[in-house]
Amino acid sequence: MYLQGEFDKAILLYKEALRLGPENVDTHYNIGLFYKKQEKLKKAITHLAKAIKIDPDYAKVYNEIGVILFQQGKYKKAGVFFSKAVQIKPSYTEAQKNIALLKKIL
């Protein structure tokens, strides 16, 4: 419960930051990560998608959405997001590893 309370506080602080700067891509990304850690995946994807809308070239966001989709068993959709991350940033090793893992499954 302690960690849950810390996540909740962090999310409240980030939401306040969004109120002041609603187009801040890093704030949406970080809120998405917090929700992902809490397994509130729909909310996580909502904020990560907003980050993409603000900055369509933010490779880490595509990878994180891919991870969530992978966890949900949506492997083909996950692959699309992992591939997009590598397309944006070819040296992105985490996304490359996720693609390799996906290939083993499919």
Secondary structure of 4-69 in the HEC alphabet?
HHHHHHHHHHHHHHHHHCCCCHHHHHHHHHHHHHCCCHHHHHHHHHHHHHHCCCCHHHHHHHHHHH
Whether residue 92 is found in the same domain as residue 63: yes
Q: What is the 3-state secondary structure (H, E, C) of 61-97?
A: HHHHHHHHHHHCCCHHHHHHHHHHHHHHCCCCHHHHH
pLDDT band at 5 (very low <50, low <70, confident <90, very high): low
Q: What pLDDT, on a 0 to 100 scale, did the predictor assign at position 78? A: 98
Instruction: Write the pLDDT tens digit of every residue in 9-43.
Output: 887 888 898 888 889 999 999 999 989 988 999 99
57, 88 contact by CB (below 8 A): yes
Q: Which domain covers residue 87, as residue numbers?
A: 57-106
Total of domains in the chain:
2
pTM: 0.88
Looking at residue 6, which CATH number applies to its domain? 1.25.40.10
Residue 1 scores a pLDDT above 60: no
pLDDT band at 106 (very low <50, low <70, confident <90, very high): confident
CA distance 89 to 106: 24
Q: Which residue has the tokens 């944006």?
A: 88
Q: What pLDDT, on a 0 to 100 scale, did the predictor assign at position 64? A: 98
Whether residue 71 is found in the same domain as residue 105: yes
Q: Which residue has the tokens 């980030």?
A: 14
Instruction: Write the pLDDT tens digit of every residue in 52-94.
Output: 999 999 999 999 999 999 999 999 999 999 999 999 999 999 9
